[in-house]
């Protein structure tokens, strides 16, 4: 991260523990505005927990999380969730049509989604409008993931948190979703933070990378840091992953 980067999301000495078990340990850092940052680290490092903190699903025991310069504890929960979208590996879907699922974020807020807007959202994720009336049960894994991304885009989030959204996809779908996210980032300057277990993906997609181990942010900076980590545990982690 360079000094000219503005923070879309900033963490200041954030710690979180559950039943006195430290899960996030004094993390400070920024996710630069309009950029893609990948987040890697071994299983149990606290990556998903960090997302839940950033999205306001859980609150830090200490420290501060700022979105667009404002402490997230001062946001209305719905406003925060609209600003910071979260997409998961296997997003829960309602039984029924794609349209019903796309509309969900709005129906939860008492609103409605015009069909033309829904069709546009599908177009944005590379699916034809005819998918609106399809049953989600009949979608392939890749199509399902695209619908899930489209659903996250309904609220036009400024920040998009993606938690291993391609790990269960085949190579072609994975590449399509990667291209889609890159296009969303470039088209609308959405800040992306992407958790992945795939270090090749972290390098190719992310301009920046954070490496978390044991609840700590061990190293962060341009993604090329994965080629020459300074930290010994990061070096071991990277070696293990690249073999």
CB of 107 to Mg ion, least distance (A): 28
Tell me the C-alpha distance between 29 and 210, whole Å.
Answer: 9
Residue 52 vs 100, nearer CB to Mg ion = 52
Burial 194-205 (b: 16+ CB within 10 A, else e): bbbebbebbbeb
Residue 46 binding result from Mg ion, ligand ATP, none, given CB thresholds of 5 to 8 Å by partner type? ligand ATP
Kindly identify the residues of this chain, within the stretch 31-90, that bind ligand ATP according to CB under 6 A.
Answer: 41, 43-49
Tell me the C-alpha distance between 136 and 20, whole Å.
Answer: 41
DSSP codes, 55-114? TTSS--SEEEEEETTEEGGGS-HHHHHHHEEEE-TT----SSBHHHHHHHHHHTTT----
Residue 24 vs 225, nearer CB to ligand ATP = 24
Q: Which of 37, 48, 173, 223 binds Mg ion (CB under 5 A)?
A: 48
CB of 117 to ligand ATP, least distance (A): 33
Q: Which residues contact 146 (CB under 8 A, 6 or more apart)?
A: 125, 126, 127, 176, 177, 180
Tell me the C-alpha distance between 196 and 38, whole Å.
Answer: 7
Residue 240 binding result from Mg ion, ligand ATP, none, given CB thresholds of 5 to 8 Å by partner type? none
> In terms of Cα–Cα distance, which of 50, 45, 82 is closest to 65?
50
CB of 45 to ligand ATP, least distance (A): 4
Residue 85 binding result from ligand ATP, Mg ion, none, given CB thresholds of 5 to 8 Å by partner type? none
Residue 44 binding result from Mg ion, ligand ATP, none, given CB thresholds of 5 to 8 Å by partner type? ligand ATP
Tell me the C-alpha distance between 243 and 241, whole Å.
Answer: 6
Fill in the per-residue mask, 148 to 187: x = in contact with ligand ATP (CB under 6 A), - = not in contact.
----------------------------------------
Binding flag, residue 196, Mg ion (CB under 5 A): no
Q: Which residues bind ligand ATP (CB under 6 A)?
A: 18, 23, 41, 43-49
Which residues are near Mg ion by CB under 5 A?
48
């Amino acid at each position: 991260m360079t000094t000219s980067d503005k923070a879309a999301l900033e963490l200041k000495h954030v710690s979180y523990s559950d039943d006195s078990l430290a899960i996030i340990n004094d993390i400070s850092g920024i996710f630069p505005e309009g950029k893609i940052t990948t987040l890697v680290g071994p299983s149990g490092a606290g990556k998903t927990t960090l997302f839940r903190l950033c999205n306001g699903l859980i609150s830090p025991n200490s420290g501060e999380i700022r979105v667009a310069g404002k402490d997230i504890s001062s946001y209305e929960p719905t406003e925060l969730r609209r600003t910071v979208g979260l997409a998961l590996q296997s997003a829960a879907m309602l039984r029924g049509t794609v349209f019903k699922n796309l509309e969900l974020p709005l129906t939860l807020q008492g609103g409605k989604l015009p069909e033309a807007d829904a069709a546009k959202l599908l177009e944005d994720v590379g699916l034809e409008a005819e998918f609106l009336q399809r049953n989600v049960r009949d979608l392939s894994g890749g199509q399902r993931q695209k619908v899930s991304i489209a659903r996250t885009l309904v609220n036009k989030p400024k920040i998009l948190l993606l938690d291993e959204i391609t790990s269960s996809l085949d190579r072609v779908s994975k590449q399509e979703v990667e291209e889609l996210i890159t296009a969303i980032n470039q088209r609308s300057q959405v800040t992306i933070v992407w958790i992945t277990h795939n270090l090749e993906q972290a390098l190719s997609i992310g301009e920046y990378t954070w490496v978390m181990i044991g609840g700590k942010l061990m190293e962060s900076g341009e993604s090329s840091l994965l080629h020459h980590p300074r930290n010994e545990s990061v070096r071991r982690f990277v070696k293990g992953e690249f073999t």
